[in-house]
Amino acid sequence: MSVLPVSEPSPFSVGSLYLIAFAQARAPHIGIILPTSLSSGILFHIRIDRNASPNWTYQTRLQNIVQDMFVTSLLRIRDVNIGGITLEQLTSVAKSVAIPENDEFGECFPWVLKVVEMIHTNGYLTVSSLSGLHDEFRAFANGNRAYARRDKFPNVAISTFCM
């Protein structure tokens, strides 16, 4: 298993806030994750569960970061060292964002950006450009397919549009 180097400062830290990408056939699935340990965190996202509903549904769950062959990318949007966001605050904001009432592919990233915008509006995050963040993360996540392996830690970077 590949681990982050100990001698270099890492862009990954427990309690910081990240956009997360999962490898899929057409485009990455995107959510928000708040790491609670070095190996996992609480994931906030929308998904389609055709057994429960044909439409998007909101879900929060514990998500492995280490040894998950679908997690490819983590983009830090809020560093815990400058003040974290609590699980309660993030849950409240995520639940307040409307869920698309359709089953169209690709709705997860626009929903995540609306959550990020609400986090910003509530004062828990400073975003200089949502469109810049969109383009930055899209380019970053699309280039990380090689990280879709159990023996690699996801590629981690720091957003230039958030703090």
Q: Tens digit of pLDDT for each residue in 102-119?
A: 878 889 999 999 999 999
120/137 Cα distance (integer angstroms)? 17
The predicted structure's pLDDT at residue 92: 96
Task: Look at the pTM and tell me if it is higher than 0.75.
Answer: yes
Report CA-CA distances (Å) from 124 to 2, 82, 86, 151. 32, 11, 9, 34
Alpha-carbon separation of residue 120 from 59, 89, 147, 161 (angstroms): 21, 12, 29, 12
Amino acid (one-letter) located at 4: L
pLDDT at 52: 67
How far, in Å, CA of 115 to CA of 97, rounded? 6
Give the pLDDT confidence of 145-155 residue by residue, as tens digits: 888 888 888 99
| The pair of three-digit structure tokens given for residue 50, joined into one six-digit string | 């055709």
DSSP string, 86-120: -HHHHHHHHHHSPPPSS--TT-HHHHHHHHHHHHH
28 pLDDT band, cuts 50/70/90, is: confident
Q: What is the CA radius of gyration of the chain?
A: 15
Asked whether the predicted pLDDT for residue 21 surpasses 50, the reply is yes
- Higher-pLDDT residue of 20 and 50 is 20
